[in-house]
Amino acid sequence: MNSTLTQLLRPGGGITMNNTLIRLLKLAAPIRGWMALAALVGSLTVASGIGLMATSAYLISAAALHPSVAALQVAIVGVRFFGIARGVFRYLERMVSHRATFRLLSNLRVWFYTALEPLMPARLLTDKDGRVEGLRSGDLLRRVVADIDVLQNFYIRIVAPPVVAVIIGLGMWALLGAFGGIFALIYCICFLLASIAVPLLTHLLSKRLGQELVETRAELHTQLVDRIQGLADLVAFGQEEQQAQELAMLNTRLNRMQMAMAQISGLQGSLSNFLMNLTAWAMLLAAIPIISTGHLNGVFLAVIVLSTLASFEILLPLPGAFQQLGGSLTAAQRLFTIVDAPPAIQDPITPSPQPTGHTFEIKQLGFRYEATEPEVLKNITLTLPEGQCLAIIGPSGSGKSTLTRLLLRFWDYQEGQILLGGHELKAYQQEDLYRMISVVEQDTHLFNTTIRENLLIARSDATEEELILACQQAQLHDFVQTLPSGYHTQVGEQGLRLSGGERQRVAIARAFLKNAPILFLDEPTVNLDAVTERAILQALRVLCQGRTTLMIAHRLTELDMADEIVVLQNGQIIERGKQEQLLNAHGLYWQMHQQQYTTLRKLDDSTNKKVS
């Protein structure tokens, strides 16, 4: 596991709350114009509501004195204006704020994917325990989707309301100050209590709970993804009830947290309403003596009280916003732990050199995943000439896949050299390197789309004729023609609507379509039956012609196409040569050959007995 990412994933490991808050605000910089416009329109909405309440109060109070209609015309027009303006500004505020939020979420998803891409696959490779360098695949999905969605609360409910509250607070301070300093003072005290003290109390009560809520919800989603992916195995082994109980316990824990959060919401709502009513009563108690002495017209009593109550519209969401702050910051931290993980590979600053050919030369190569771990490869020296096929075999854990990943620059080696076309492999930009290489793996990933779209991943600009030719070479075209929708047939999630052999043919067709000069075959026929294996091997022999080919193999039936075979054990080359030479040497290759063919003979004998 990568130590840097592991340290980042620990609580408090590299990312503080203050730093997270600042970074979140910086991420909003591209839409700061939209956010400013949303704050402005939001302020105008609340101001229109205050104006509507104030003019309505004045109109009713003044009308009670039975003046002429002309004396009420301004108030009547004001009521109409503010009533219409409030509806218009409310609509504009919703439209602008949601457009800003959606743009921000879109930018965040692109930002996160862009940051995630350089980490793949070295930093996020799934290990044998099903974890992804400190993460599980379900947790990574949760971060990509749900944690980014949580951040919309930060921008639309946490950033914008305080800005609007400050604007409205200053406006109300000026308005009430015009009626008397005592009103401005009362309002400032109650305003600060409602806008700072209650949100702060709410934040302190819900900070840890909000963090745990995000983490528990993420854990529940992760467990659900894991259980759904392995549902067939759970049913087969009768473990579905036990797993359902574990999920139920986790769900119960989440429900308790949500109830606790709801109780805090109820508390903050009660406090906010109490302060709002307290402000109204304080205004009344302060205004009545002033009106009694004749220093203030009694018509303005309702104006002062009702406009004050109307201004609390912007203060009521603040405690709820700060209640969600802990969860939003935790979601952001979960994203930043991934983004901040350094990529395993750094592209050179200079452009890629022009290779003089496609020969690989490996000289005294040594590699370990971590400085504290033992070497996976030791003193590997070999040459893969252009246009030839080199097969690498060995027991599990001997370093075969690691060597392939180094040649693909998923990691950088610490010792020795790898030359491609006469130039150091590290001198190539990754994008330029991948243009020269096609890969056919044992587990071909197919996207949940059509066969055609899965093929065009290799070359998006391929013509219909080129696509059909590649499928014919891979012995896939005839099968596709039997499907009702042909190349437009949906393959299902991970290509599960196709058999293993059909998925491998799609992978081979991709390699034909890409037509790269270098080919890596990573156990392409593993887990296939003998008949399908024979057909796949026939297609692979055609694919290998004229290409520099590196083949990782467990089954020795594939090795007759190899010009040279290299046997690895414990990260070292212990044998090399042609198949006949290795068999005559009676070494590890001979032992593996004998073991596999003995097993095959036993299977054949068993099958023959059953048939007879």
Q: Give me the pLDDT at residue 452, please.
A: 92
Q: Give me the pLDDT at residue 17, please.
A: 59
Q: Give me the pLDDT at residue 430, please.
A: 86
Q: What is the pLDDT of residues 543-573, one digit of tens each?
A: 888 899 998 877 676 677 888 999 998 889 9
Q: What is the pLDDT of residues 495-550, one digit of tens each?
A: 888 888 888 889 889 989 998 999 998 888 776 777 777 777 888 888 888 899 99
Q: Give me the pLDDT at residue 334, please.
A: 79
CATH homologous superfamily, domain 388-412+436-597: P-loop containing nucleotide triphosphate hydrolases (3.40.50.300)
What does the alpha-carbon distance between residue 467 and residue 377 come to, in Å, rounded to a whole number? 39
Determine whether 386 is exposed, middle or buried from the number of CB atoms within 10 Å of its CB (0-12, 13-18, 19+): middle
> Quick check: 211 and 330 in contact, CB under 8 A?
yes
Choose the CATH number for 17-120+134-340 among 1.10.540.10, 3.40.47.10, 2.40.160.210, 1.20.1560.10. 1.20.1560.10
Residue-range domain boundaries for the chain:
17-120+134-340, 388-412+436-597
Q: Give me the pLDDT at residue 539, please.
A: 83
Going by C-alpha positions, the residue among 404, 406, 389 that lies closest to residue 564 is: 389
Hey, what are 88's tokens?
């218009």
Q: How far is CA 21 from the centre of its chain?
A: 19
What does the alpha-carbon distance between residue 55 and residue 78 come to, in Å, rounded to a whole number? 6
Q: Give me the pLDDT at residue 363, please.
A: 92
Going by C-alpha positions, the residue among 467, 543, 472 that lies closest to residue 511 is: 543
Give the phi and the psi of residue 516 in degrees, each rounded to 5. Answer: -80, 150
Contacts of 375 (CB under 8 A, 6+ apart): 366, 367, 368, 571
What does the alpha-carbon distance between residue 241 and residue 565 come to, in Å, rounded to a whole number? 49
What are the beta bridge partners of residue 389?
A: 549
Q: Can 17-120+134-340 and 388-412+436-597 be said to share one CATH topology? A: no
What does the alpha-carbon distance between residue 203 and residue 195 come to, in Å, rounded to a whole number? 12
Q: Give me the pLDDT at residue 533, please.
A: 74
- Location of structure tokens 């549902």: 231
DSSP 121-179: TTTT-B-TTSEETTEEHHHHHHIIIIIHHHHHHIIIIIIHHHHHHHHHHHHHHHHHHHH
Q: Give me the pLDDT at residue 121, please.
A: 67
Which residue numbers in the chain have pLDDT < 70? 1-18, 120-139, 142, 153, 229, 320-321, 323, 527, 555, 557-558, 597-612
Q: How many CA atoms lie within 13 A of 241 on its CB side?
A: 1
Q: Give me the pLDDT at residue 212, please.
A: 82
